[in-house]
Amino acid sequence: MKKRLLYYELVKYLNHKNALLITGMRQVGKTTLMRQIYDVVKNPKLWFDFDNPLDQKVFEDNDYKVIYKRLVDMEKKAGKLSVFIDEIQNFPEITKVIKYLIDHHGVKFYLTGSSNFYLKNLFPESLSGRKFLYELPPLSFQEYLYFKDVDSLKEIQNFTLQGAYKKNSIFAHKARAAEYDDFLMYGGFPEVVITEDKETKVMVLKNIFASFFEKGIKILSDYSDIRELRDMILLLVPRVCSMLDVSRLSSELSIDRVKIYRFLEFLQGTFFIRLLPKYSKSIDRSVAGGKKVYFTDTGLLNVIGKVSEAQIFENAIINQLARYGKVSFYNKRNTAEIDAILDNQTAFEVKLTGTEKDISKLSALSSELGISQSFVISKKFQEKDGFLSPVLL
């Protein structure tokens, strides 16, 4: 299995005292990534899978000294101990143990967790200043090209967004157009990408969706009525790329607004959806108001329901841009809109077929906001200034 780009970042910190925590949706490759790190760690090491209650039992003792001795006895080799734990959200008490073992015995921890919704409530106090937190999303299009042997590892490691802005080449576009269509249709889950048969790709995606319900929800007792959450996901599909109307969702599902907000927070916290805030230079104002909804993987979106080509394309672009920084959108009293603004610095309009009129409107609106750089991302290639091919992102 090829290594994700995040691997090369994580190995820089093998000798740092802080725990390395990898979060992300189930089946994006967190366990594989941690196994690859496990293979290069030379000092004494232990692996635990907290989907297995017997592995959890090793850490069940009120006396943390006893737990440390138990771990040392399990790994007879001398030297600094490294402990790898997969799916820590299944055992909340572990954070206090981790803190003690880091502080008193210098144990190095490598951790994965599938729910940021859960982890953000778990970690602020117990591991403050003792962890480096990383999110592993589905494959970016650049990583997809590497996994499909279109681009080399060196090419994607040297990739920069600023460099992409200067490379609007018809040759690059044509060379990758077919791969990009496949990426739009089936998304970026590693197993889906390396599977060649299209029917099998769809089966894998359906299994990922099923796994989300079977494993991701059962640990969250607040969401006992899974049917309500399922029905809300189905209602979100046609709303992709649109501003959410929570009152309407509440009415259609016969669920109170408070529960709708909790569902949305949960879906975003488990990396299932992405909620895009409105653009504002004021942090307080950007938090308020309606948000746009996107799914974190277009392959998953395609197997859940039917959406238009334009929606799939915009959804993919938002996910691609989100790898590079904070993405927001701008809406001028429902009379003018910018699809995406990256780090309050660069504006993007997303079109299946971009026109020079789109360039003019985007440039004028961006200037009003004090944004000097703007591009129209056109699925159909346009070799003119101001246009950008999606295959370059």
Q: In this predicted model, what pLDDT tens digit does every residue of 165-204 receive, in sequence order?
A: 888 889 989 999 999 999 999 999 999 999 999 999 999 9
Please give the pLDDT value at position 362. Answer: 98
Same domain for 186 and 216? yes
Cα torsion 181, 183, 184, 187 to 10°: value is 160
Q: What is the mean pLDDT of residues 329-334?
A: 87
pLDDT above 80 for 285: no
| Least confidently predicted of 100-104, 216-220, 256-260, 336-340 | 216-220
Confidence (pLDDT) at 241 = 97
pLDDT band with cut points at 50, 70 and 90 for residue 126: low
Instruction: Tell me: do 74 and 211 sit in the same domain.
Output: no
Mean pLDDT of 73-80: 87
Does residue 287 share a domain with residue 152?
A: yes
- Within 10 Å of residue 233's Cβ, how many Cβ atoms? 19
Same structural domain, 208 and 352: yes
189 with 289, same domain: the answer is yes
Element (H, E) at 299: helix 298-304
Q: Which of 135, 154, 174 is the last residue of a domain?
A: 135
Q: Distance between CA atoms of 32 and 190, rounded to whole angstroms?
A: 10
Write down which residue in 100, 135, 170 finishes a domain.
135
Q: How far apart are CA 362 and CA 258, in angstroms?
A: 36
Kindly state whether residues 125 and 147 are assigned to the same domain.
no
Please tell me whether residues 201 and 324 are part of one structural domain: yes
Contact between residue 330 and residue 337 where contact means Cβ atoms under 8 Å apart: yes
Answer with the one of 96, 115, 135 that is the final residue of a domain. 135
Q: Read off the pLDDT of each residue in 117-145 and give the average, rounded to a whole number.
A: 80
Structural domain total, the chain: 2
Tokens at 214, concatenated: 């079977």
User: Please, which pLDDT band fits residue 150 given cuts at 50, 70 and 90?
Assistant: very high
Helix, strand or coil, per DSSP, at residue 250: helix
Q: How confident is the model at residue 218 (pLDDT cuts 50, 70, 90)?
A: low
pLDDT band at 287 (very low <50, low <70, confident <90, very high): very low
288 shares its domain with 307: yes
127 within 8 A of 95, measured Cβ to Cβ: yes
Could you tell me the two tokens for 149? 């042997």
Report yes or no: 122 and 84 within 8 Å, Cβ to Cβ: no
Q: How confident is the model at residue 288 (pLDDT cuts 50, 70, 90)?
A: very low
Percentage above 90 pLDDT, the chain: 77
Print the domain residue range for 105.
5-135
Are residues 203 and 308 located together in one domain of the fold? yes
Q: Is the pLDDT of residue 116 over 50?
A: yes
Residues 76 and 28 in one domain: yes
Got the DSSP string for 4-71? PHHHHHHGGGTTSSSEEEEE-STTSSHHHHHHHHHHH--S-EEEEETTSHHHHHTT--S-HHHHHHHH
Within this chain, do residues 159 and 125 fall inside the same structural domain, yes or no? no
**Percentage of the chain lying above the pLDDT 70 cut:** 93
pTM for the predicted model, two decimal places: 0.94
The widest CA-to-CA distance across the chain, in whole angstroms, is: 70
CATH number for the domain that contains residue 16 = 3.40.50.300
Q: How confident is the model at residue 122 (pLDDT cuts 50, 70, 90)?
A: low
CA distance 391 to 388: 9
